[in-house]
Amino acid sequence: MQYRTLGKTGWNVSAVSMGCWGIGGQWGPVEEKQALDTINAALDAGVNLFDTADGYGCGQSEIYTGKALKSKRSEVYIATKVGNWGRRQGDPLEYRTIYSIINCCHASLYRLDTDYIDLYQCHIGTPEHPEIFVEAFELLKKEGKIRHYAISTNDLDSLKALNSEGACASCQINYSLLNRQPEKDILPYCLDNNIGVLLRGPIAQGLLADKFTADTRFEDMVRDHWNPGESQRDDFLARLDKVAAIRALVPEGRNMVDLALKFTLANPAVTCPIPGMKTPEQAKQNAAAADGELDQATMEKIDTICPPEKSA
């Protein structure tokens, strides 16, 4: 495992870290033993940053994450998020005062069974009142409940708002071979302002695992919009065409997930992708992508299939 510095925190975090949304049950059922075994496999592979959220399975992901990491607490970094509690259940919590955020933080601390959260992130991509989050985060830092704060967004203005005090430690960005739009503005901003970058969606919700076909049907609540007759069906089929073209670039003896993760690691602004992991096998496979890099010829071929975004 390789390690990289996460922005202004100074932390050395694993170049491939673990996204814990999958163990929250919203991508299909996951039993406790499977969740704990997956996290332990990631630990064994050198992963030391684990990203979860209070909204992942209404706290279930945080519970599993905290239980698995309790004996290793001083050796790992736990990142969680606030802002989406109850949204997927159709009853979202409102965040109009700092006290909603502070109460959510206390609840996360309880579920994670820890005294502090290393990285606390705003989970609303375009918060209506970002100043409320900044005020709450600054207070929680003073109290020692959190060490650093951040935001999960692809919106540059929202990132700048969370960085109004110059203390936004990182930004969680949706970026992959199939979504290079962040190269246009938000990734350069992070690089210029020493803001660490965690990457969600580096495998494009499983598309870059190269296991789907035009006949695939999705039963989880996250990807059901790709099913026939649903709103993003055409986008799904267009992405499958790109996946087919990318397939020819995968080196012998490797797989597309490895290529997809290595592609994201080639961007100088990126600290670490945080692919979802639901099994020990996935944890081992994803972690292995931290070693080695893509050659220039492969990167150029990728640019032909999935053109880079240019700065304005």
> Per-residue pLDDT tens for 231-289?
788 888 888 889 999 998 998 888 899 999 999 999 999 999 999 988 999 999 999 99
159-190 exposure pattern, b = at least 16 Cβ within 10 A, e = fewer? bebbbeeeebbbbbbbbbbbbbebbebbbbbb
pLDDT band at 221 (very low <50, low <70, confident <90, very high): low
Q: At what angle do helices 256-265 and 296-305 cross, to 10 degrees?
A: 100
| Partners of residue 168 on adjacent β-strands | 149
The pLDDT > 70 percentage for the chain reads 97
Q: What is the token pair recorded at 1?
A: 């495992």
Average pLDDT over residues 21-45: 88
pLDDT score of 53 = 95
SS3 sequence, 166-223? CCEEEEEEECECCECHHHCCHHHHHHHCCCEEEEECCCCCCHHHCCCCCCCCCCCCCC
Whether 25 has a pLDDT exceeding 80, the answer reads no
SS3 266: coil
State residue 91's pLDDT score. Answer: 67
Domain ranges of the chain: 3-208+255-296
CATH architecture of 3-208+255-296: Alpha-Beta Barrel (3.20)
DSSP for 82-132, written as a single string: ES-TTTTTT-PPP--SHHHHHHHHHHHHHHHT-S-EEEEEE--SS-S-HHH
In the block, tokens 């992070």 appear at 190
pLDDT, residue 9, reads 96
Does the structure show a pLDDT above 60 at 30?
yes
Distances, alpha carbon 299 to alpha carbons 177, 259, 281, in Å: 11, 10, 27
- Share the mean pLDDT of the chain: 91
Q: Residue 73 burial (CB < 10 Å; 0-12/13-18/19+)?
A: middle
Rounded Cα gap, residues 108 and 146, in angstroms: 11
Is the Cβ–Cβ distance between 273 and 279 less than 8 Å? no
> Would you tell me how many other CB atoms lie within 10 Å of the CB of residue 67?
16
pLDDT in tens, 79-116: 999 998 767 777 677 888 999 999 999 999 999 999 99
In degrees and rounded to multiples of 5, residue 260 shows phi and psi of: -65, -40
> Above pLDDT 90, what percent of the chain?
70
| Tally: H helices and E strands in the chain | 10, 10
Please name the amino acid found at residue 6.
Answer: L
Q: What is the dihedral of CA 112, 114, 116, 117, to 10 degrees?
A: -20
Q: Is the pLDDT of residue 11 over 90?
A: yes
First to last CA, the chain: 36
Q: How confident is the model at residue 216 (pLDDT cuts 50, 70, 90)?
A: confident
Structure confidence at residue 1 (pLDDT):
92
For the segment 183-195, the average pLDDT, to the nearest whole number, is 96
Listed range (54-68, 217-231, 293-307) with the worst mean pLDDT: 217-231
Helix axes 32-44 and 280-288, enclosed angle (nearest 10)? 20
pLDDT at 33: 94
